[in-house]
Structure 1
Amino acid sequence: MPHRWLILLALFLTACRKEAPRPAPAIEAYVWQSPARSGVATAIERSRGAVATLHVRAAEMRWTGKTFDTNRAITGSLPTPGCGLVLRIGASASQLEWTPDQIAPVAKVVKELAALGPKEIQCDYDCPQSRLDRYSRLLDSLQTSAGNVPLVPTTLPSWLDEPTFRKLVAKHPGYVLQVHSLQLPKQAGQPVMIFDPSAARSAAKKASALGVPFRIAMATYGCEVWFGSDGKVMEVVSEDTAPLTKAPASRAYALADPTESARLVREWSASPPSGLQAVIWYRLPVEGDRRNWPWVTFQHVIRGEEAAPDLTLESTDHDGTFDLHIVNRGDFPVPLPADAIVTTPVISADGVGAYRLEKRADGMHYLRRDGIWPWLDPGKKIPAGWLRTHEPVSRIDWHFTP
């Protein structure tokens, strides 16, 4: 066969050879809530079959200036077989050089956690971007203490451009790239953001180019930001309860958008970025965790499914007096309307709870009060007020404004 035909045949066979499709990223989740908290054991059990691996917050270490103050959440045994454990090292340690004496108490904790037999230990350290070489020194020592248990660093998208980043992650069985973060405004009145899908796509593309396996951590949570009278941030509330000793002048709110998140999951499932092994969600839904997605929302998102909003005003007739509730009949959290306008003629009316009443020419305006968490979870309802009509009516006419 002439030489040129051999070349053409080789080119033809190469063109016909299809690249094997990459598997969709696995679904994992963090259990950041205390295992002793009510509902956590139920949430862990419910996650079986939907979540491939759980990663449980096991210990937090805070540098006091002289030594580490350690808070252990996991001691005697793993809360669920096959889970990973997470060691959190706060920003208080960010200026440490990580000398052997400074590493020793952290290594001791890692050795004790490794003895419990976790799938892996993640190191979530608030390391300054300019000091990644010190982080690498810490990780090398901690891996020795962990023995055969893999040690996995948590990293930030901004680190990807650092020359030392690849060295930091290449020695370990992959890394976690945290694409969610709370972006605080400088002044009250400016937006608060937790998750930017465009930035997440960009970070995944950069990570893929490094050729080191990675997982992406995404958000399920929301937060409340408090501002003082000077307009500056005074507190961030991301858990169930807020501090009772402080009173903000104003507040702002943020919640990871489940619709945008579902779109990204669907996109990555259909065409996974090279090297992306899993999406880890922070945090596993637990009943009563009100600044977090509920389970039904989480289920949709991890399957890449969007859910249409279904928000309505429900009126219950009690002998001509109607109780009004705003009800979420959909599967995603929805923003509470700023204004529920009732146009049915009434004799009397008033707002209740989260809403106050303002009478205007075009109807009764039930206005959302300041300081109210502005999302309503699926299947939940919130009282808005009551009204009494001039005569018996079969329905109340209303509409919402955002």
Structure 2
Amino acid sequence: MFLIRLAVLFAALMLLNGCEQKTAPPLDQQLYVWQRQWTPAHDAALKDSRADFSTLRVLALQAFPQAGWSRARINPALLKRDGRPLIAVVRLDGQLKALDQDEVTAQIQQVLSDWQGQGLILSGVEIDHDAGSARLPAYRAFLTHLRAVLPASLPLSITALPAWIDSPELPTLLATVDSSVLQVHAVSDPRRGLFDAVQAGKWAKAWSRITPKPFYLALPAYGVALLPGASGAPVVESEVSVERVGKRRELLADPVQLSKLVAELRADPPAHLAGLIWFRLPLAGDRRAWSLNTLGAVARGDVLDSRLSLKLSAQDGLYDISVSNPGNLDSAWPERVTLAVQGCDGADALAGYALQQSPDLLTFTRQREGRLPAGGQRGIGWARCAHIDQGGSNVHP
């Protein structure tokens, strides 16, 4: 009897240990590809994103109130080579006075047909329409019409706004589609910031209580600039430069803040949460997006680390002076870099920095804001010196 009891106790302990070692399943991670004009930089960005992001949601078509219809100029060869599930996103501007069901449906069918004619295999269609809550019945009617026209095998999803949560029309709207993408960034006054992690978590839980279907959270991995507007409301500058006089106020989603939210969602996901979709795929030189190194680290749940270091490259007494960021977290340009020197007969700073020089010290001081991507390097100046003591030099964040 004692042996039987011991065996039962041992089995219970093993079961308890097994429960303690269980980890939450990883959340599916996807990417928005939102560039209107594809460039050669998309090739490397797609290749480097493959390991961490399962699906591409690619901007295909846009409708604007005055400008009308505009197609994104994609590179179908790159998408075919990539091979990940592909969802075409159709952006219908929220300022459109009404949705002409027949015209919008015809435009969508044509772009889908053209993509398929280029050899692309679609895994779904997403409609992105920032309709006000009062217009949800009309939007539901449009989606019902579109669902009936699209192939039954082609999943239909929508981008959704937190402002819809309190609308009695929301459940019937969500019933018309297969899934939804709750956008929890850039949904309020931009002067209050791009993103609020606490509020985003509350919206996700509220959404999970309304929809019985899978939903995703659209999260920010980018920044914008605010410029003074004529009416007092700021003008938002994102991927495309805005020709306007005035000081730009830069806003950037905080990777550390997003990393904490992702960890919380991974540990305790709301009901029906299927995954996360990051806006947007960063390209080399995209100054208003996180680097892909940082985005991948946040998506994987890696510990974030930013480490700035001094890099010197010398030839015949001429030193090229750079700072590098070997960590996985993008960093602001260092405020100041000091170099202990001997016998300098010339030195200068590069754009963005100013130089102050004394016989034994060079001080490079930041003159404007900038970001050094994870894994990146940036030159700040040069000097012709008999000697630079790297051990006695410092980078001041």
TM-score, reference length from structure 2: 0.79
Amino acid at match of 2:324: V
SS in 2 for 1:161: coil
| Conserved? CA contact 2:33–2:58, under 8 Å | yes
| Conserved? CA contact 2:29–2:53, under 8 Å | yes
Q: 1:92 aligns with which of 91, 95, 101?
A: 95
CA distance in 2 between counterparts of 1:72 and 1:316 reads: 42
**For each residue in 1:331-360, what CA deviation from the matched residue of structure 2 results, as whole angstroms up to 9, or x when unmatched?**
221111233344667856432211012469
Q: 1:395 aligns with which of 379, 390, 393?
A: 390
Q: Which moved more, 1:272-281 or 1:344-353?
A: 344-353
| Conserved? CA contact 1:177–1:216, under 8 Å | yes
SS in 1 for 2:194: strand
| Mapping 1:269-280, distance limit 5 Å | 269-280=266-277
Report what 1:214 is aligned to.
Answer: 215
Residues 249 and 21 of structure 1: CA distance in aligned 2, closer, same or farther (over 3 Å):
closer
**For each residue in 1:197-245, what CA deviation from the matched residue of structure 2 results, as whole angstroms up to 9, or x when unmatched?**
2222111111122243211111222223334799863451335xx35xx
CA distance in 1 between counterparts of 2:316 and 2:72 reads: 57
SS in 1 for 2:390: coil
Report what 2:138 is aligned to.
Answer: 134
SS in 2 for 1:279: strand
Report what 1:225 is aligned to.
Answer: 226
Residues 72 and 144 of structure 1: CA distance in aligned 2, closer, same or farther (over 3 Å):
farther
**For each residue in 1:113-157, what CA deviation from the matched residue of structure 2 results, as whole angstroms up to 9, or x when unmatched?**
454352111000121233222222221122122231222110112
Structure 1 residue 56 displacement after superposition: 1.3
Q: 2:183 aligns with which of 173, 178, 201?
A: 178
| Conserved? CA contact 1:228–1:250, under 8 Å | no
Amino acid at match of 1:33: Q
In the alignment, structure 1 residue 251 sits paired with structure 2 residue 248: yes
Q: Which moved more, 1:211-220 or 1:192-201?
A: 192-201
CA distance in 2 between counterparts of 1:49 and 1:324 reads: 34
Report what 1:197 is aligned to.
Answer: 197
Q: How big is the alpha-carbon RMSD for the aligned residues of Structure 1 and Structure 2?
A: 3.5
Residues 339 and 155 of structure 1: CA distance in aligned 2, closer, same or farther (over 3 Å):
same
Amino acid at match of 2:355: L
Residues 355 and 38 of structure 1: CA distance in aligned 2, closer, same or farther (over 3 Å):
same
Report what 1:367 is aligned to.
Answer: 365
CA distance in 2 between counterparts of 1:165 and 1:113 reads: 28
Structure 1 residue 399 displacement after superposition: 3.8
Identity across matched positions, percent:
27
Report what 1:385 is aligned to.
Answer: 381
Amino acid at match of 2:302: E
Structure 1 residue 109 displacement after superposition: 2.0
CA distance in 1 between counterparts of 2:112 and 2:272 reads: 26
Amino acid at match of 2:325: N
Residues 247 and 345 of structure 1: CA distance in aligned 2, closer, same or farther (over 3 Å):
farther
Residues 321 and 183 of structure 1: CA distance in aligned 2, closer, same or farther (over 3 Å):
farther
Unmatched 5+ residue regions in structure 1? Answer: 1-15, 187-191
Residues 44 and 359 of structure 1: CA distance in aligned 2, closer, same or farther (over 3 Å):
closer
In the alignment, structure 1 residue 62 sits paired with structure 2 residue 57: no
Structure 1 residue 72 displacement after superposition: 5.3
Amino acid at match of 2:58: V
Residues 29 and 378 of structure 1: CA distance in aligned 2, closer, same or farther (over 3 Å):
same
Report what 1:8 is aligned to.
Answer: none
CA distance in 2 between counterparts of 1:341 and 1:184 reads: 40
| Conserved? CA contact 2:340–2:389, under 8 Å | no
In the alignment, structure 1 residue 334 sits paired with structure 2 residue 331: yes
| Conserved? CA contact 1:34–1:73, under 8 Å | yes
| Conserved? CA contact 1:321–1:386, under 8 Å | yes
Residues 50 and 224 of structure 1: CA distance in aligned 2, closer, same or farther (over 3 Å):
same
CA distance in 2 between counterparts of 1:323 and 1:183 reads: 45
Q: Which moved more, 1:149-158 or 1:20-29?
A: 20-29
SS in 2 for 1:296: helix
Q: What is the aligned length? A: 366
Q: 2:148 aligns with which of 141, 144, 147?
A: 144
CA distance in 2 between counterparts of 1:230 and 1:127 reads: 23
Structure 1 residue 42 displacement after superposition: 4.2
Amino acid at match of 1:139: L
Report what 1:29 is aligned to.
Answer: 31
**For each residue in 1:138-192, what CA deviation from the matched residue of structure 2 results, as whole angstroms up to 9, or x when unmatched?**
2112212223122211011222122222222133212100112176655xxxxx7
TM-score, reference length from structure 1: 0.78
Residues 345 and 182 of structure 1: CA distance in aligned 2, closer, same or farther (over 3 Å):
farther
| Conserved? CA contact 2:339–2:394, under 8 Å | yes
Unmatched 5+ residue regions in structure 2? Answer: 1-15
Report what 1:159 is aligned to.
Answer: 164
CA distance in 2 between counterparts of 1:158 and 1:84 reads: 25
| Conserved? CA contact 2:317–2:384, under 8 Å | yes
Structure 1 residue 289 displacement after superposition: 3.2
CA distance in 2 between counterparts of 1:137 and 1:210 reads: 20
Report what 1:10 is aligned to.
Answer: none
In the alignment, structure 1 residue 302 sits paired with structure 2 residue 295: no
**For each residue in 1:272-309, what CA deviation from the matched residue of structure 2 results, as whole angstroms up to 9, or x when unmatched?**
22110011111223334343233322322221112211
Residues 39 and 344 of structure 1: CA distance in aligned 2, closer, same or farther (over 3 Å):
closer
Residues 232 and 387 of structure 1: CA distance in aligned 2, closer, same or farther (over 3 Å):
farther
